[in-house]
């Protein structure tokens, strides 16, 4: 049977990284089936396009995975596929919490023939077998022989065949530049950000987060050996095709068990398996100097930190009191001292936020080493403690907000601001943090660093914004480039000066040790 695994885009912004679940389920598919992957972020498709694709390619089963904000599109695509007679199974965090919605059991239309609840590592082979026999069940739940929920152990993790998978759709280097760039340095003909997990689960239970409920509060890890082998495979592939690879460790808290993280990083270094990598680590775990040394030595370039707020009352409200705003600056300096930078994530519209929260936050950010700030709004995702609290208090204004995805729009009323004021704050956060002046300031604040690092920060800032903020199409890119022409010109000028051996701010031998351009 030919199986299509499809991940929809949200129709507004674009991710730069493919989704792990597709590669994982592909690797877990029993022999004898052919699996085709389409990520809507890389290959945008509409309903007619996907219906044509499944018919022309003789697809016998479609698997769709989606986050809450992509679910409306996922349902539309599923409807189009089912209309041409091909069964659809849906999985992922949203349908796990809203299975009745996907199955049309709550009064709405049915979108999926079957739903895979929770982690599907062990149920997927069963789903494929049932689909082949034409006997799909409505619901597949990960349970043991006694009907108890069972979480897959990651000790026997499948080897994802990165050396063989067709990754053409995930190359971030534009086609027309690939040939030329292949000859630069070790080769830049391809550049891909690859998702990889080393463990699952998070015990912290922040109120707005899906993870503790979905993956559980006990953490499961892969063996160091399996992670190292995967890195080596990826590294070899990049080398063989004259390209670059960076890895996003998608673990929710990569250093949740510091001892184990250190042992993994030491094994990566010992095996020469370093690639440039990004990971999510909470600020409280980055107090450990040895950990930060190992992060840098093992290829760590960017750390995503869920700072959420600079206000301790807000943090306590969402059960994230372990974040201490007073130590954010020290944590970021500790990272920057090793040339590791931070993606700092903030949420506005929290209950103690008042008008001006964006400017207060930006004022703090400007005192920190340059990084990639991101701003979102507090969003009640289905089944989270936050959703339940706001629902009980009658504060949800759009209880089924996912049925119509609107970027940067609240679904409840904050306590000390209006919804419109919260929207204005998030717009101000993005506008000021990524204005041409802020970009220039970020590059300039790194004047003691090699040119490569400054170029890296600049490119990362240009690209990263596009994951969260609409930045689609060549025109909006050209506009962005034009607005930032001064910074681009000064970086290029400095690069030429260094290249021609003229005195420049940067020593030539260190000038092109770039990190990854985007995460």
Site residues for ligand SF4 per CB under 6 A: 202, 204-206, 209, 211-212, 252-253, 282, 306
Looking at residue 396, what DSSP letter applies? Answer: B
- Residue 67: which of 21, 111, 3 has the closest Cα? 21
Residue 402: contacted member of ligand SF4, ligand B12, none (CB under 5 to 8 Å, by partner type): none
Closest approach, Cβ 8 to ligand B12, in A, equals 10
- The partner in contact with residue 253, picked from ligand SF4, ligand B12, none with C-beta cut-offs of 5 to 8 angstroms by kind, is ligand SF4
Which residues contact residue 389 at a Cβ distance below 8 angstroms, ignoring those fewer than 6 apart? 207
Nearest to 5 by CA among 36, 47, 40: 36
Query: What are 262's two structure tokens?
Result: 């250190």
Q: Is 199 in the site for ligand B12 (CB under 6 A)?
A: no
130 binds ligand B12 (CB under 6 A): no
Alpha helices (H) in 209-257, listed in sequence order: 211-215, 224-240
Between CA 159 and CA 161 the distance in angstroms is 6
User: Considering CB distances under 5 to 8 angstroms, the limit depending on partner class, which of ligand B12, ligand SF4, none binds residue 358?
Assistant: none
93 binds ligand B12 (CB under 6 A): yes
Contact assessment for residue 414 and residue 350, using Cβ atoms and an 8 Å cutoff: yes
**Contact characters 412-451, ligand B12, x per CB under 6 A:** ----------------------------------------
**Helices within 17-92 (DSSP H only):** 20-28, 47-56, 71-83
373 binds ligand B12 (CB under 6 A): no
User: 193 φ, ψ to 5°?
Assistant: -105, 120
* Nearer to ligand B12 among residue 24 and residue 335 (C-beta): 24
Q: How many Å apart are CA 161 and CA 246, to the nearest integer? A: 17
Nearer to ligand SF4, 254 or 434 (CB): 254
- What is the C-alpha end-to-end distance of the chain, expressed in Å? 35
DSSP H/E element including 95: helix 93-97
**Binding residues among 15-54 for ligand B12 as defined by CB under 6 A:** 15, 17-21, 24
Q: CB of 207: closest distance to ligand SF4 in angstroms? A: 9
For position 295 contacting ligand B12 by CB under 6 A, the verdict is no
Residue 297 or 459: the one with the smaller Cβ distance to ligand B12 is 459
CB 59 within 8 A of CB 36: yes
- What character string, x for contact with ligand B12 (CB under 6 A) and - otherwise, covers 227-266? -----------------------x-x--------------
CB of 118 to ligand SF4, least distance (A): 16
Choice from 53, 75, 124, 191 touching ligand B12 (CB under 6 A): 124
- DSSP one-letter string for 117-136: -S--TTTHHHHHHHHHHT--
H/E stretch holding 376: strand 372-377
Query: Which residues make Cβ contacts (< 8 Å) with residue 257, sequence separation at least 6?
Result: 199, 219, 221
Closest CA to 320 of 330, 329, 332, 310: 310
**Closer residue to ligand B12, CB minimum distance, 230 or 494:** 230
Residue 211 binding ligand B12, by CB under 6 A: yes
| 65: partner contacted, choices ligand SF4, ligand B12, none (Cβ within 5-8 A by kind) | ligand B12
Which of ligand B12, ligand SF4, none is residue 205 near (CB under 5 to 8 Å by kind)? ligand SF4
Span interacting with ligand B12, options 203-211, 256-264, 333-341, 358-366, rule CB under 6 A: 203-211
Under rule CB under 6 A, residue 119 binds ligand B12: yes
Q: Can you list the alpha helix ranges (DSSP code H) found in 286-356?
A: 289-297, 312-317, 328-336
Q: Which two tokens stand for residue 492?
A: 């290029």
Name the percent of the chain in helix, strand, coil, to the closest 5: 45, 15, 40
- From the list 114-122, 129-137, 418-426, 509-517, the region that binds ligand B12 by CB under 6 A is 114-122
Nearer to ligand SF4 by Cβ, of 306 and 371: the residue is 306
Residues near ligand B12 (CB under 6 A) are 10, 13, 15, 17-21, 24, 63-65, 67-69, 89-94, 116, 119-121, 124, 195, 197, 209-211, 215, 250, 252, 376, 381, 467-468
């Amino acid at each position: 049977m030919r199986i299509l695994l499809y991940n929809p885009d949200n129709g507004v912004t674009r991710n730069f990284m493919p989704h792990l679940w597709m590669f994982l389920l592909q690797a877990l598919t029993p022999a004898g089936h052919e699996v085709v992957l389409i990520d809507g972020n890389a290959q945008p498709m509409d309903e007619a396009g996907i219906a044509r694709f499944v018919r022309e390619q003789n697809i016998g089963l479609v698997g769709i995975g989606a986050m809450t904000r992509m679910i409306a599109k996922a349902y539309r695509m599923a409807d189009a596929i089912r209309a041409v007679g091909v069964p659809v199974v849906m999985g992922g965090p949203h349908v796990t919490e809203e299975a009745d919605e996907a199955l049309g059991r709550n009064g709405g239309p049915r979108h999926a023939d079957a739903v895979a609840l929770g982690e599907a590592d062990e149920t997927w082979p069963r789903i494929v077998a049932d689909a082949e026999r034409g006997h799909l069940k409505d619901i597949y739940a990960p349970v043991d022989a006694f009907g108890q929920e069972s979480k897959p152990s990651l000790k026997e993790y499948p080897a994802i065949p990165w050396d063989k998978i067709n990754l053409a759709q995930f190359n971030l280097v534009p086609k027309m530049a690939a040939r030329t760039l292949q000859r630069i340095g070790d080769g830049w003909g391809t550049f891909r950000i690859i998702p990889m997990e080393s463990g699952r689960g998070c015990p912290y239970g922040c109120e707005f987060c899906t993870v503790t409920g979905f993956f559980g509060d006990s953490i499961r890890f892969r063996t160091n050996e399996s992670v190292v082998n995967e890195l080596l495979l990826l590294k070899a592939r990049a080398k063989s095709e004259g390209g670059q690879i960076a890895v996003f460790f998608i673990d929710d808290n990569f250093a949740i068990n510091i001892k184990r993280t250190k042992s993994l990083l030491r094994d990566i270094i010992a095996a020469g398996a370093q690639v440039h990598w990004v990971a999510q680590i909470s600020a409280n775990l980055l107090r450990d100097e040895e950990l930060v040394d190992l992060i840098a030595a093992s290829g760590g370039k960017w750390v995503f930190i869920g700072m959420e707020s600079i206000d301790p009352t807000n943090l306590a409200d969402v059960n994230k009191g372990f974040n201490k705003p007073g130590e954010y600056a020290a944590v970021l300096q500790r990272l920057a001292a090793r040339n590791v930078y931070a993606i700092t994530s903030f949420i506005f519209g929290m209950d103690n936020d008042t008008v001006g929260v964006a400017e207060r936050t930006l004022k703090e950010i400007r005192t920190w080493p340059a990084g990639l700030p991101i701003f979102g709004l507090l969003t009640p995702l289905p089944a989270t403690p936050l959703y339940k609290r706001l629902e009980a208090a009658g504060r949800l204004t759009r209880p089924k907000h996912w049925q119509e995805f609107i970027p940067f729009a609240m679904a409840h009323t904050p306590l000390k601001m209006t919804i419109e004021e919260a929207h204005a704050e998030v717009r101000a956060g993005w506008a000021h943090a990524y204005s041409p002046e802020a970009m220039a300031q970020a590059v300039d604040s790194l004047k003691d660093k090699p040119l490569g690092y400054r170029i890296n920060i600049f490119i990362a800032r240009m690209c990263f914004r596009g994951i969260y903020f609409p930045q689609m199409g060549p025109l909006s890119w050209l506009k962005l480039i034009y607005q930032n022409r001064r910074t681009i010109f000064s970086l290029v000028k400095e690069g030429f000066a260094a290249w021609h051996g003229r005195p420049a701010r940067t020593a030539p031998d260190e000038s092109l040790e770039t990190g990854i351009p985007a995460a």
